[in-house]
Chains A and B, each alone.
Chain A
Amino acid sequence: MYQKSLKNLVSDAKPVEPYDIMESKRLSMPSPDSGCNCCGKCVKACSGKAISIKDDVWSIDLGKCVFCRDCYELCEHMQEEDAPHYALRREDLVFKAGEKKDVEGRLPKEKVRAVRGSVAIRELDTGSCNACESEANAMGNKYYDMERFGIKVTPSPRHADALLVTGPMTRNMLVAAQKTYNAVPDDKLVIACGTCAISGGLFVKGDVIGEGVNDTLPVDLYIVGCPPTPNGMVVSLIKALGLRH
């Protein structure tokens, strides 16, 4: 049996994805071409209330987009652009029509003092729909294999450098979330993972606190997606924290 397991392990063609491939696979975000006359059709249809038109300027907030692709079907001017994996500031996630900017910066040195070549994360679910959890689990599978970059999940917040928060911060979870935050040693990072955690997403009118996790915990990193892809999460951590790859 053991022989067989070994055979299985070695016989499988190497599935591990190189960093460059992981980096290049991105979610797509909508952006209208020059034919857009700001008719406002997409604003009305967007379930996430992500698109807005103000003074004839079209813009999308990736922190609210749920990547449902409704807007592409609605309007022939809507083009697919590569979305960023993450951003360091909330306002960086707002893109105007056709705008291209590099928001994938690196966290300042004093923020990442606790991170020396590897990072221990503690996942904190504050009311997510469990798709984000599923993807966070997938970071450890043999395709993404986050441990090769020095990213690992710790069972206890006491051993964590960073909190990976998913979900819109429900009222019931608030106390537990704050206690978990306090249990993490100082020099900690808070990562808002997914649309819910960034802005409250579709649940912002529900029984949740504020608009996203940022209203209760100080967020350092916003990972885009609903849910973010596992490669997106791994790449975000590597790039923002400056891990070796």
Chain B
Amino acid sequence: MITEIHIGISSLAEKIAEKLSEGYGLMCMYANEKGATERSIRTLLRKDSDIITFFTVIEGDSYGAISPAVPQVRPYEREMHEMSGLIPEGLTEKFGPQRLQWAYKDAYPLQKAPLPEERIFHPMPDNRMEGDGVFEIPVGPVHAGIIEPGHFRFSVAGEPILKVRTHFGYTYRGIEKLMEGRSDSDRTRLIERVSGDTAVANALAYAHAMEGDTEVPERARYLRTIFAELERIYCHFGDISGIAQDTGFSVPAVFGAGIKEKILRLNEIVGGHRFLMGTIVPGGVRRDISDDSLKAIQNRILKISFDIEELVGMMEGSSFLMDRVETTGILSHQDALTYRALGPAARASGVKTDVRKELPYDAYGDVGFRVFTRDKGDVYSRMLVKAGEIVESTSIINQCLDRIRPGPLRAEVTPSEGLGLGIVEAPRGELVHSAEIFNGDIWRYRIRDPSFINWLALERALPGNIVADFPLINKSFNLSYSGNDL
């Protein structure tokens, strides 16, 4: 299933372009340090269940830039430059800071040698738009609501947005580096806190990356699926209620937030934590859940299909809300494909992509469900896709509850050497964890959150909309800042 190909740096750009034209999607790219392995670039491509990885050894720190030939590589090239100190040669434009506003002098965060104390301020490049009546509105990093920090610069002419530039890194804590040289339980705790509201998906991806070929017991596979779907349900409820909130329609907003709270309480009963942190471990699940808890899940799930119908009905019944959400923040089908948008954002633009179907993990191969798509790509479509996914999730949980049998919960895991991959469908889309394991320890751990890609898609969906609609569009994507920054 995973094909590893060693190729030289000179033909890498060509090979990636070739694979992309064959319909593969670029999942991730990152650099390795010299030591346990070579100084190298790892490229991960996927087409349905077929994964190809290119392993490219490079001499020194510089290589011929790939992004002029293959534009999709750009965010990764920027990341490799900042985090791993690789220098792409032949680029006309210099990279601005992606995560590190305070760079190291002659050093980079992922190097194996100790880091110097001294830091240099790395300002954001000033490439604003100029012209008659064009203004720039800076927003953030501290926003009006209770949300995470990020900085946006809108170039506007009157009300409509011409261009937006995003500037992140405010929640950069250096998680990838912290993953190295720790014990397994430390890493699990850490990975659950990459992005708190996708704790299950992150823990699952980490578990998959560590497990390799280990056979996970059946009961554990079903429990994992149930947890992952519970997480998807509460995330989507939060998003839909947030959309109502941002249009100022508080009745559905309060209603949706109430349902989210009910599921969080259910989580606490079944998993011992409101965000289900600490439920999933490599090899299986940590604790069993009782028949009473399974019953509690079943009862709640039964009501949820009605709740979501009521919530969406309430919202659709209001013409002023529909005015706000229809034709707002359109991500075109073409843009969704070019930027390889992920998750509900892509599905709302007519791209049928879902890791649960393409690369079934845990119990997803045994259950039947539909992948919900819409083709308009506006806020309303994203809302409907999320609503549809909630219904599908309840059906998945029901099927799991029907089939779950008593059995062992955890298998012994010995991490395999070399590359370990974990690809799961988080509530926000395809989440990729990639571990380079040598001598049982992690040499390099790369987390590619769906937000990393979808922020670029969001930038494409904004131009032409008015500034006042930005919170609404942002909410409909609901991207994670901390998952992006790590």
> Which residues of A approach B to under 8 Å, CB–CB?
1, 4-5, 8-9, 12, 15, 45, 47-48, 66-70, 123-138, 140-143, 153, 155-157, 167-168, 170-173, 176, 180, 201-203, 205-208, 226-227, 229
Residues of B within 8 A of A124 (CB): 142
Residues of A within 8 A of B313 (CB): 4
- B141, B274, B277, B318: the one within 8 Å of A229 (CB): B274
Are B178's CB and A68's CB within 8 A?
A: no
Are B175's CB and A206's CB within 8 A?
A: yes
In the bound complex, CA of A1 to CA of B147 (Å): 31
In the bound complex, CA of A69 to CA of B188 (Å): 13
- B102, B196, B277, B480: the one within 8 Å of A172 (CB): B102
Are A128's CB and B171's CB within 8 A?
A: yes
Once A173-B141, A205-B178, A229-B274 are accepted as A-B contacts, the answer to whether A134 and B238 lie under 8 Å apart by CB is yes
In the bound complex, CA of A66 to CA of B199 (Å): 14
Are B149's CB and A206's CB within 8 A?
A: no
Once A141-B261, A142-B258, A227-B275 are accepted as A-B contacts, the answer to whether A131 and B196 lie under 8 Å apart by CB is yes
In the bound complex, CA of A192 to CA of B379 (Å): 35
State whether the Cβ of B190 lies closer than 8 Å to any Cβ in chain A: yes
In the bound complex, CA of A123 to CA of B144 (Å): 9
Nearest chain A CB to B314 CB, angstrom units:
6
Are B178's CB and A170's CB within 8 A?
A: no
- B146, B186, B317, B482: the one within 8 Å of A127 (CB): B482
State whether the Cβ of B422 lies closer than 8 Å to any Cβ in chain A: no
Residues of B within 8 A of A137 (CB): 146, 257
Are B199's CB and A131's CB within 8 A?
A: yes
In the bound complex, CA of A5 to CA of B480 (Å): 31
State whether the Cβ of B294 lies closer than 8 Å to any Cβ in chain A: no
Residue of B nearest to A133 (CB): B146
State whether the Cβ of B254 lies closer than 8 Å to any Cβ in chain A: yes
Residue of A nearest to B318 (CB): A1
In the bound complex, CA of A206 to CA of B310 (Å): 45
State whether the Cβ of B172 lies closer than 8 Å to any Cβ in chain A: yes
3 cross-chain pairs, A with B, having the tightest CB-CB distances, nearest first:
A131-B196, A1-B317, A155-B144
In the bound complex, CA of A1 to CA of B242 (Å): 20
In the bound complex, CA of A126 to CA of B148 (Å): 8
Residue of A nearest to B182 (CB): A47
Q: Which B132-188 residues sit within 8 Å CB-CB of chain A?
A: 141-142, 144-149, 169-175, 177-178, 185-186
Residues of B within 8 A of A126 (CB): 149
Are A130's CB and B195's CB within 8 A?
A: yes
Are A130's CB and B148's CB within 8 A?
A: yes
Are B109's CB and A5's CB within 8 A?
A: no
Are B174's CB and A130's CB within 8 A?
A: no
Give B99-111 as 1s and 0s: 1 = Cβ < 8 Å from A's Cβ atoms: 1111000000100
6 A-B contact pairs sorted by A residue (CB < 8 Å): A1-B318, A66-B193, A131-B197, A131-B275, A173-B170, A207-B174
Residues of B within 8 A of A131 (CB): 193, 196-197, 199, 275, 277
- A47, A135, A167: the one within 8 Å of B171 (CB): A167
Are A125's CB and B278's CB within 8 A?
A: no
Residues of A within 8 A of B95 (CB): none
State whether the Cβ of B339 lies closer than 8 Å to any Cβ in chain A: no
Are A68's CB and B119's CB within 8 A?
A: no
Once A153-B146, A170-B171 are accepted as A-B contacts, the answer to whether A141 and B258 lie under 8 Å apart by CB is yes
Once A68-B277, A157-B142, A173-B141 are accepted as A-B contacts, the answer to whether A5 and B251 lie under 8 Å apart by CB is yes
Residue of B nearest to A169 (CB): B173
Nearest chain A CB to B445 CB, angstrom units:
13
Chain B interface, number of residues (Cβ within 8 angstroms):
57
Are B102's CB and A173's CB within 8 A?
A: no
Residues of A within 8 A of B273 (CB): 67
Are B482's CB and A130's CB within 8 A?
A: yes
In the bound complex, CA of A213 to CA of B100 (Å): 20
State whether the Cβ of B481 lies closer than 8 Å to any Cβ in chain A: yes
- A8, A129, A207: the one within 8 Å of B109 (CB): A207
Residue among B100, B149, B178, B254 with the highest chain A CB neighbour number at 10 A = B149
New contact pairs (13) apart from A1-B314, A69-B278, A134-B197, CB-CB < 8 Å: A5-B251, A68-B278, A127-B482, A128-B148, A128-B196, A130-B196, A141-B257, A142-B254, A155-B145, A173-B149, A176-B142, A201-B193, A202-B190
State whether the Cβ of B217 lies closer than 8 Å to any Cβ in chain A: no
Are A129's CB and B482's CB within 8 A?
A: yes
Are A156's CB and B144's CB within 8 A?
A: yes
In the bound complex, CA of A5 to CA of B251 (Å): 7
Residues of B within 8 A of A8 (CB): 251, 255, 310, 314
Residues of A within 8 A of B255 (CB): 8
Residues of A within 8 A of B144 (CB): 155-156
Nearest chain B CB to A75 CB, angstrom units:
14
State whether the Cβ of B418 lies closer than 8 Å to any Cβ in chain A: no
Nearest chain A CB to B102 CB, angstrom units:
5
Nearest chain A CB to B150 CB, angstrom units:
10
State whether the Cβ of B264 lies closer than 8 Å to any Cβ in chain A: yes
Q: Which B238-291 residues sit within 8 Å CB-CB of chain A?
A: 238, 251-252, 254-255, 257-258, 260-261, 264, 272-275, 277-278
Are A130's CB and B480's CB within 8 A?
A: yes
Residues of A within 8 A of B254 (CB): 141-142
In the bound complex, CA of A150 to CA of B322 (Å): 33
Residues of B within 8 A of A125 (CB): 142, 147-149, 170-171
State whether the Cβ of B295 lies closer than 8 Å to any Cβ in chain A: no
Residues of A within 8 A of B149 (CB): 125-127, 173, 176
Are B189's CB and A68's CB within 8 A?
A: yes
Are B178's CB and A45's CB within 8 A?
A: no
In the bound complex, CA of A155 to CA of B139 (Å): 13
In the bound complex, CA of A126 to CA of B171 (Å): 7
Residue of A nearest to B140 (CB): A176
Residue of A nearest to B257 (CB): A141
State whether the Cβ of B424 lies closer than 8 Å to any Cβ in chain A: no
State whether the Cβ of B363 lies closer than 8 Å to any Cβ in chain A: no
Residues of A within 8 A of B277 (CB): 68, 131
